[in-house]
């Protein structure tokens, strides 16, 4: 790539604006400026992109394909500028011609083709793969509507469509019509015996879809590597237009890529979702096998050049689809196809919640993907045959793919691959000991752990420029390319000038967030208060309600004694609820009404504030995370597979208040137990309740007056306008025995919160802990995580 000068850039920028929009620089809108800059960036990396592609083809490098139904990149302008090493140059050049880069950054739409942690992790990996120079590409769906936009109306969540895609398309993508492939669904298949004894599938009445790829550039950090995220869109195939005669027929096809399903942890088997999954898997794999075929190597050895990763169960049809392509399109025999398929495929499990492990009704499956249904039946039959007599039949009954007319996608991904990984140490242990223990009996060698990580450049350099400048001054700039150099902070963490500097950066970030809150909600936040943050999807197991119970307690304490000495607190929430998740929506309503009650009660003297920020997304996270003093990671132990916001907060100098769950445990190991605040039951204590069936929330409620007072606040009229929701919550906690053990953990939680309040008064201690956290956050870099995948699972580096 050529070295760019400011003058060249300005000239190119003005010329491009003129060509595309026929405007001069000073008349252009922010949107036009943004698109022009995006286009220039794409042109700037084009030679690297093409070179990279040729290199991989010429050198026949083994390549990994990360199949994921979700990607959640957020905005990409700043990351791209930073990774290209032209951030300052462009920012200064634009300033010279009176254009503010910050305004352009605002103009970019958030690309939210994901629900939460899983999609965001996929995007962190898309940043890290080119950064470590690994040939790894994404494969997903180009949804026209991303995750819904959340508005709060009268305290309730309202969902609006997220029309993120401009009519001209995203600036970061390139449409590749010549790489389109056909995907067949519905119809029926029978196997016609051939002269040589082989069986040839004959399709009847199928619907053919045209899959068109859009390639999104993924730029490595400072290394000239550009990879590719391939997102598939559906179009009507001209050749088969007679199959789609009515407008309704056409619309049904267009609907396939029209929106992302908004549930993060449960699925109720909609046909359209199954079609989305097959569409993406089939289009991706057809292309991959076709490019392998161009190498003229034996088809039965495709695993030597190709790795396919199944991110959660959603792309698990990759296993039978690769079998289909190898056998039906390339004439490979079953045994050879199976052997290579198992070596190509690997699977990450992201949850222990059984409702999130997909199961498809066999009837629906057979109707939509008849050939895949046949192949899955055969894989299942052969699996049973292989293990009969070797292990207990109960094990086979519970690990086979087809059970009670349902197809178990996790079982398919495990049986049809060579690797199964969890996303944090505890999570992988739970898979082995509990959730997947019978698979561990059959295939112990497949199991491994890959603790999640985060794209540290986005979550430090981009989201927190104030802290970044401070770090440059204290430890030099080396940390910007080698995040492990953050550990140099260990030497200065007790220096009072250093502590003051970190404090000042934090206060400035809090002010920025307070300004946003003032502008959007017209609430004044005192920045000398502790900013206590819980941002993540709304789910019962994540226990936003435990946080709420503690706020109620503080409110009651203050009402009882207005003179009470208390470190002021601002509780900040951000959370989307799945549209059909009734309980979660009730919690949102409760938080908003509680916020109204507290924020306008002058008798509390600004000691307590509660804000619910609507439409939590990646961009908002970039504003919130650097402003947090306390990071709430309070899931019931054993339930949160990993969590990743916990890592982002730590890197930005928040103290973690946590249960021993997911990656919280590894954060504790990294910083030491004095530098994190742990409370509540651990996983063994939780499991002991499961085993003994001895949990009794009503007994706790009856015997603990504080808890009783807090829980009763949901139904005694304390919180206005929540008659219905309050009873729903009270019932969940008491009548239905508090599935997530909030009552048992409450007392310890409240005590640790009190400890945090006291600690915050002791600035030197607090700041030393803050700096200790930043110093040890390097180990949660997704560059390192992906290196583990690339070496141990995919064998590509
Ligand atoms: C998701 O975001 C996660 C799991 C899952 O099965 C489905 C979705 Cl959409 C999350 C986990 O809940 C979280 O603990 C983890 O950190 C994240 O995936 C990335 O692994």
Atom of ligand 1 nearest to the CA of 264: 9
Cβ–ligand 1 distance for 423 under 6 Å, the answer yes
Q: Ligand 1 pocket, 121 CB below 6 A?
A: yes
The pick from 273, 351, 616, 645 for probing ligand 1's pocket by mutation, whose C-beta has the most ligand atoms within 8 angstroms, reads 351
Tokens of 204: 């009847």
Which of 537, 576, 589, 639 is an active site residue? 537
Looking at the fold, whether 537 and 667 belong to one and the same domain comes out as yes
Please tell me the distance between residue 772's alpha carbon and the centre of ligand 1 in angstroms: 27
pTM of the model: 0.98
Condensed to tens digits (0 to 9), the pLDDT of residues 217-258 reads 999 999 999 999 999 999 998 888 888 999 999 999 999 999
Tokens found for residue 761: 């008064």
261 and 138 within one domain? yes
| 701, 736 Cβ separation under 8 angstroms | no
* pLDDT of 197: 81
Whether residues 479 and 332 fall in one domain = no
At 2, the pLDDT band (50, 70, 90 cuts) reads low
By C-alpha distance, which of 281, 221, 256 is closest to 85? 221
Q: What would the two tokens of residue 648 be?
A: 């982002």
Q: How far apart are CA 414 and CA 620, in angstroms?
A: 36
Q: Which atom of ligand 1 is nearest to the CA of 115?
A: 9
257-308 pLDDT, tens digit per residue, is: 999 999 988 777 799 999 999 999 999 999 999 999 999 999 999 999 999 9
Give the active site residue among 131, 644, 718, 785.
Answer: 644
| Residue of the CA atom closest to atom 13 of ligand 1 | 643
Q: For residue 75, give both structure tokens.
A: 């905005």
| CB-CB contact of 690 with 712 (8 Å) | no
Q: Is 358 touching ligand 1 by the criterion CB < 6 Å?
A: no
In a domain, 641, yes or no: yes
Residue to mutate, 71, 114, 116, 450, ligand 1, most ligand atoms under 8 Å from C-beta: 116
Residue 134: pLDDT over 70: yes
Q: Which of 117, 352, 642 to probe ligand 1 with, by most ligand atoms within 8 A of CB?
A: 117
Catalytic residue among 207, 359, 539, 648: 648
Q: Does residue 371 carry a catalytic annotation?
A: no
Report yes or no on 428 lying in a domain. no
Residue 723 CB coordination number (10 Å): 12
Q: What is the mean pLDDT of residues 114-132?
A: 98
Boundary residue ending a domain (329, 358, 387):
358
Distance between CA atoms of residues 101 and 431, nearest Å: 46
Q: How far is the CA of 427 from the centre of ligand 1 (A)?
A: 11
* Ligand 1 neighbour 643 (Cβ under 6 A): yes
Does residue 662 have its Cβ closer than 6 Å to ligand 1? yes
Please tell me the total count of domains within the chain.
2
397 within a domain of the structure (yes/no):
no
Q: Are 401 and 351 in contact (CB under 8 A)?
A: no
Average pLDDT over residues 609-619: 98
Domain region containing 309: 6-340+350-358
Q: What was the pLDDT predicted at 572?
A: 99
The residue annotated as part of the active site, out of 42, 52, 350, 772, is: 350
In terms of Cβ atoms closer than 10 Å to its own Cβ (0-12, 13-18, 19+), residue 769 is: buried
**Do 483 and 354 share a structural domain?**
no
Question: What are the beta bridge partners of residue 235?
Answer: 210
Candidates 98, 137, 331; CA nearest to 218 is: 137
- Residues 644, 629: Cα–Cα separation, whole Å: 17
3-state secondary structure 445-504: HHEEECCCCECHHHHHHHCCHHHHHHHHHHHCHHHHCCHHHHHHHHHCCCCHHHHHHHHH
Whether the CB of 644 sits within 6 Å of ligand 1: yes
Nearest to 299 by CA among 270, 334, 272: 334
Model confidence at 90, pLDDT cuts 50, 70, 90, reads very high
Check whether 1 has a pLDDT greater than 60. Answer: no
Q: For residue range 718-746, what is the model confidence (pLDDT) as tens digits?
A: 999 999 999 999 999 999 999 999 999 99
Q: Which of 69, 70, 265, 633 to mutate to test the pocket of ligand 1 (most atoms within 8 A of CB)?
A: 265
What CA–CA distances, in Å, run from 363 to 366, 405, 413?
5, 8, 20
Q: Sign of the C-alpha dihedral, residues 413, 419, 420, 423?
A: negative
Co-location of 184 and 313 in the same domain? yes
> What's the whole-number average pLDDT of the chain?
97
- 3-state DSSP assignment of residue 591: helix
Is 303 an annotated catalytic residue?
A: no
Q: How far is 84 from 100, CA to CA, in rounded Å?
A: 19
Ligand 1 mean position, distance from CA 120 (Å): 9
Catalytic residue among 343, 542, 769, 772: 542
Task: Give tens-digit pLDDT for 495-537.
Answer: 999 999 999 999 999 999 999 999 999 999 999 999 999 999 9
Provide the pLDDT for residue 266: 79
The preferred substitution site among 350, 430, 666 for testing ligand 1, maximizing ligand atoms within 8 Å of CB, is: 350
Q: Which atom of ligand 1 is nearest to the CA of 114?
A: 9
Verify whether residue 536 is a known catalytic residue: yes
> DSSP assignment of 131-198, as one string?
HTT--EEEEEE--SB-SPEEEEETTEEEEE----S-TT--TTEEE-GGG-EEEEESSEEEEEEPTTS-
pLDDT, position 198: 82
Residue 357, token pair as written in the block: 């492990």
Q: Which residues contact 243 (CB under 8 A, 6 or more apart)?
A: 207, 208, 249
> For position 552, what pLDDT does the model report?
99
Question: What is residue 86's DSSP assignment?
Answer: -
Counting ligand 1 atoms within 8 A of each CB, the residue from 71, 264, 637 with the most, and so the one to mutate, is 264
Q: At how many degrees (to 10) do helices 705-712 and 544-560 cross?
A: 100
Does residue 265 have its Cβ closer than 6 Å to ligand 1? yes
Choosing from 35, 400, 536, 585, the catalytic residue is 536
Confirm whether 301 is a catalytic residue. no
752 is catalytic: no
| Ligand 1 center to 51 CA (angstroms) | 35
Report whether residue 115 contacts ligand 1, using a CB cutoff of 6 Å.
yes
Report yes or no on 512 lying in a domain.
Answer: yes
Closest by CA position to 285, among listed 345, 222, 228: 345
Distance 356 CA to ligand 1 centre (A): 10
Beta-carbon neighbour count of residue 491 at 10 Å? 12
User: pLDDT digit string (tens) for 312-340?
Assistant: 999 999 999 999 999 999 999 999 999 99
Whole-number pLDDT of residue 68: 98
- The minimum-distance atom of ligand 1 relative to the CA of 353 is 6
- Reading the block at residue 297, the tokens are 């190597």
Q: What span, in angstroms and rounded, lies between the C-alpha atoms of 304 and 340? A: 9
Is-catalytic flag, 648? yes
Query: What's the confidence (pLDDT) of residue 548?
Result: 99
Task: Quickly tell me which residue has 């197991």 as its tokens.
Answer: 541
Question: Is any ligand 1 atom within 6 A of the Cβ of residue 661?
Answer: no
* pLDDT tens digits, 352-411: 998 889 999 999 999 999 999 999 999 999 999 999 999 999 999 999 999 999 999 999
How far apart are the CA of 616 and the centre of ligand 1, in A? 16
- Is there a domain that residue 457 lies in? no
End-to-end CA distance of the chain: 24
Give the CATH number for residue 250: 3.40.50.2000
| Residue 454 near ligand 1, beta carbon < 6 Å | no
Could you tell me if the CB of 284 is within 6 A of ligand 1?
A: no
Which structure tokens are listed for 155?
């305290």
Question: Per the domain annotation, does 414 fall within a domain?
Answer: no
Q: What separation in Å is there between the alpha carbon of 144 and the centre of ligand 1?
A: 23
Ligand 1 contacts CB of residue 640 (under 6 A): yes
Judged against a pLDDT cut of 80, whether residue 98 lies above it is answered with yes
Virtual torsion, Cα 678, 681, 683, 687, nearest 10 deg: 180
Ligand 1 atom with least separation from CA of 116: 2
Q: How far is the CA of 677 from the centre of ligand 1 (A)?
A: 23
Does residue 422 form part of some domain?
no
Ligand 1 near 321 CB (within 6 A): no
Can you tell me the mean pLDDT for 626-647?
98
Confirm whether 325 is domain-assigned.
Answer: yes
CA of 645 to the centre of ligand 1 (A): 11
Phi, psi of 461 (to 5 degrees): -60, -45
Place of tokens 């039946």: 377
């Amino acid at each position: 790539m050529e070295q760019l000068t400011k003058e060249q850039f300005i000239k190119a920028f003005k010329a491009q604006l003129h060509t595309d929009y026929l405007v001069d620089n000073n008349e252009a809108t922010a949107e036009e400026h943004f698109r022009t800059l995006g286009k220039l960036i794409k042109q700037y990396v084009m030679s690297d992109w093409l070179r990279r592609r040729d290199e991989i083809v010429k050198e026949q490098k083994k390549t990994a394909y990360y199949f994921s139904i979700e990607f959640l990149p957020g905005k990409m302008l700043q990351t791209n500028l930073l990774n290209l090493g032209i951030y300052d140059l462009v920012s200064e050049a634009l300033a010279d011609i009176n254009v503010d880069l910050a305004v352009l950054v605002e103009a970019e739409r958030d690309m939210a083709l994901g629900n939460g942690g899983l999609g965001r992790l996929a995007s962190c990996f898309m940043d890290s793969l080119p950064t470590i120079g690994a040939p790894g590409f994404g494969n997903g769906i180009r949804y026209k509507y991303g995750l819904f936009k959340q508005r709060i109306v009268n305290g309730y969540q309202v969902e609006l469509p997220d029309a993120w895609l401009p009519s001209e398309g995203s600036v970061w993508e390139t449409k590749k019509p010549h790489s389109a492939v056909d995907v067949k669904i519905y119809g029926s298949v029978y196997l016609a015996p051939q002269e040589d004894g082989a069986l040839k599938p004959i399709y009847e009445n199928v619907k053919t879809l045209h899959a068109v790829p859009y390639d999104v550039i993924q730029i490595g950090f400072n290394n000239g590597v550009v990879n590719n995220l391939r997102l598939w869109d559906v179009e009507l195939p001209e050749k088969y237009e007679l199959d789609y005669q009515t407008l309704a027929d056409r619309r049904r096809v267009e609907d396939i890529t029209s929106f992302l399903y908004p549930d993060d942890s449960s699925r109720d088997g909609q046909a359209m979702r199954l079609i989305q999954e097959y569409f993406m898997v089939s289009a991706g794999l057809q292309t991959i096998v076709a490019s392998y075929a161009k190498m003229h190597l034996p088809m039965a050895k495709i695993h030597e050049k190709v790795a396919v990763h199944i991110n959660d169960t959603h792309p698990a049809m990759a296993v039978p689809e690769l079998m289909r392509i190898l056998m039906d399109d390339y004439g490979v025999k079953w045994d050879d196809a199976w052997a290579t398929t198992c070596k190509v495929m690997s699977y990450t499990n992201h949850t222990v919640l059984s409702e999130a492990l997909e199961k498809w009704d066999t009837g629906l499956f057979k109707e939509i993907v008849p050939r895949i249904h046949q192949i899955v039946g055969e894989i299942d039959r052969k699996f049973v045959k292989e293990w009969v007599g070797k292990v207990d039949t109960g094990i086979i009954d519970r690990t086979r793919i087809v059970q009670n007319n349902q197809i178990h996608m996790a079982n398919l991904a495990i049986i049809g691959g060579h690797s199964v990984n969890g996303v944090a140490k505890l999570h992988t242990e739970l898979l082995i000991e509990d959730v997947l223990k019978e698979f561990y009996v059959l295939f112990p060698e497949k199991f491994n752990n890959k603790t999640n990580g985060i794209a540290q450049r986005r979550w430090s350099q981009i989201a927190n420029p104030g802290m970044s400048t401070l770090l440059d001054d204290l430890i030099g700039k080396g940390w910007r390319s080698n995040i492990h150099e953050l550990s140099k902070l260990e030497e200065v963490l007790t220096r009072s000038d250093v502590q003051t500097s970190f404090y000042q950066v934090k206060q400035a970030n809090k002010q920025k967030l307070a300004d946003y809150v003032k502008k959007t909600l017209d609430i004044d936040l005192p920045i000398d208060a502790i900013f206590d943050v819980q941002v993540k999807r709304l789910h019962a197991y994540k226990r936003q309600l435990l946080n709420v119970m503690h706020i109620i307690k503080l409110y009651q304490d203050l009402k009882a004694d207005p003179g009470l000495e208390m470190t002021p607190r601002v509780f900040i929430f951000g959370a989307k609820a799945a549209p059909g998740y009734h309980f979660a929506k009730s919690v949102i309503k409760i938080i908003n009404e509680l916020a109204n009650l507290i924020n306008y009660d002058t008798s509390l003297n600004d000691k307590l504030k509660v804000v619910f920020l609507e439409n939590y997304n990646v961009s908002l996270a970039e504003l919130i995370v650097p402003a947090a003093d306390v990071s709430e990671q309070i899931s019931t132990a054993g339930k949160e597979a990993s969590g990743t916001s916990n890592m982002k907060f730590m890197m930005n100098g928040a103290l973690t208040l946590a249960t021993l769950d997911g990656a919280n445990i590894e954060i504790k190991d990294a910083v030491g137990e004095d530098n994190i605040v742990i409370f509540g039951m651990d996983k063994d204590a939780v499991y002991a309740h499961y085993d003994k069936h001895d949990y009794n929330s009503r007994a706790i409620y009856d015997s603990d007056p504080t808890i009783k007072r807090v829980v009763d606040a949901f139904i005694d009229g304390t919180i206005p306008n929540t008659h219905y929701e309050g009873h729903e919550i009270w019932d969940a906690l008491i009548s239905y025995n508090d599935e997530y053990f909030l009552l048992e953990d409450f007392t310890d939680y409240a005590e640790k919160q009190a400890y945090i309040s006291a600690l915050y008064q002791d600035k030197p201690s607090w700041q030393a802990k803050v700096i200790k956290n930043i110093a040890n956050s390097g180990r949660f870099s997704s560059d390192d995580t992906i290196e583990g995948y690339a070496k141990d699972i995919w064998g590509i580096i």
